[in-house]
Amino acid sequence: MLLDALTLNAGHNAAVVVLGTAAFGLAAGAVGAFVLLRGRALIADAAAHAMLPGVAGAFLLALALGGDPRALPALLAGAAVAAALAVLAVDALAATGRLKDDAAMALVLSVGFGLGMVLFSVVQALPVGGQAGLKGFILGQAAGMLEGDALLIAGLAIAAAALLALLFRPLALLCFDPSFAAAVGLPVRALDLVLLSLMLGVAVIGLGAVGALMVVGLMVIPAATARLLTGRLATMVVLSALLGAASAWIGSAVSAARPGLPTGATIVLVASALFVLALLFAPERGIVARTMQRVPAAPRRDGASPGRGRSMSAAG
């Protein structure tokens, strides 16, 4: 069954799920490389947790207006609005000077998640149908993905990847040397907003596939894995995208073969396993390679002292 799911032979629905989540993983990995280098992982986590009240609020609003409360575009729109408000709240709290950035992020994350759980409880108590599917937005429930949902996710993921490719050089300067980027006339603030928008967009489109609690993991873990394998940004972005797609492909296939496993958690565990392998066996930055560099070489027969191993460059 697992092999069938991996090779897209487990039926049309399983193939749709695997391809849809893989498209999301590709975009998440690519954007995650810049999120990691720019140090925006925590604010991404805060925004992801804040999406939960947005989803529940969109359900309640659609229900009150007589629309379909289960429509994915409406739920994703609610998540996007809530995530954007969370980012603005973090920025506003940090701007007061009374809270540091990490404290502001932790506060927004906690409030967003708590409010989301309360609203989800309210939704679950309503005498209407369809609210059971909202639980999938917490840990992911790709098994219930329809073909139209998968096409929407894939289309948005491709659009995010295309925008990232278009702005690759300015974003690279922003991540590595924002002062130089400002000096050469690049709109640093606007580029930061673009990166945040890409981050939020990827988080929103992956909400139904991997869930709010796991979506940031699929952005950060493949990027961290790629960083262990290379020191070149272009190669890192490509590797991160491929690792994200592979993690989503394998994780969603495992979840399809074992329906009791939550999709988002399974995908993140696969990504984490790849990270551990890279942490151990990366050619230059891996633990094994670094340990071998510290092992003294055997004395030479001519009495000369052995040379020391090549030092590593932290910058890459």
- Nearest residue to 83 via CA among 207, 178, 214, 184: 207
pLDDT computed for residue 123 by the predictor: 85
**Average of pLDDT values for 14-28?**
85
CA 137 – CA 214 distance, rounded (Å): 10
Residue range 107-163, pLDDT digits in tens: 988 998 899 889 888 888 887 765 656 777 776 666 666 777 777 777 877 888 888
How many C-alpha atoms does 265 have within 13 Å on its Cβ side?
8
**Average of pLDDT values for 290-307?**
65
**Is the Cβ–Cβ distance between 224 and 240 less than 8 Å?**
no
Residue range 158-187, pLDDT digits in tens: 888 888 889 899 999 988 888 888 888 889
Residue range 222-243, pLDDT digits in tens: 999 999 999 899 999 999 999 9
pLDDT computed for residue 229 by the predictor: 94
| Per-chain mean pLDDT for the chain | 83
Residue range 233-286, pLDDT digits in tens: 999 999 999 999 999 999 888 887 887 777 888 889 999 999 999 999 998 888
Residue range 32-72, pLDDT digits in tens: 999 999 888 888 888 888 888 998 898 888 888 888 877 87
Three-state SS string over the chain comes to CHHHHHCCCCCHHHHHHHHHHHHHHHHHHHHHHHHHHHCCHHHHHHHHHHHHHHHHHHHHHHHHCCCCCCCHHHHHHHHHHHHHHHHHHHHHHHHCCCCCHHHHHHHHHHHHHHHHHHHHHHHHCCCCCCHHHHHHHHHCCHHHCCHHHHHHHHHHHHHHHHHHHHCHHHHHHHHHCHHHHHHCCCCHHHHHHHHHHHHHHHHHHCHHHHCCCCHHHHHHHHHHHHHHHCCCHHHHHHHHHHHHHHHHHHHHHHHHHCCCCCHHHHHHHHHHHHHHHHHHHCCCCCHHHHHHHHCCCCCCCCCCCCCCCCCCCCCC
Domain ranges for the chain, please list them. Answer: 2-294
Above 70 in pLDDT, residue 96?
yes
**Average of pLDDT values for 78-104?**
87
Structure tokens that stand for 258 in this block: 């074992």
User: Band of the pLDDT at 220, cuts 50, 70, 90?
Assistant: very high
**Which DSSP category does 145 fall into?**
-
**Is the Cβ–Cβ distance between 243 and 222 less than 8 Å?**
yes
**Is the Cβ–Cβ distance between 143 and 258 less than 8 Å?**
no
CA 72 – CA 248 distance, rounded (Å): 20
**Average of pLDDT values for 71-84?**
86
Above 90 in pLDDT, residue 221?
yes
User: Band of the pLDDT at 315, cuts 50, 70, 90?
Assistant: very low
pLDDT computed for residue 226 by the predictor: 95
pLDDT computed for residue 137 by the predictor: 76
The listed CATH number (3.50.30.30, 1.10.3470.10, 3.50.50.60, 2.40.160.60) that belongs to domain 2-294: 1.10.3470.10
Q: Which residues contact 55 (CB under 8 A, 6 or more apart)?
A: 75, 78, 79, 82, 116, 134, 137, 207, 212
C-alpha distances in Å from residue 1, one per residue of 10, 256, 269: 7, 9, 20
pTM of the model: 0.83
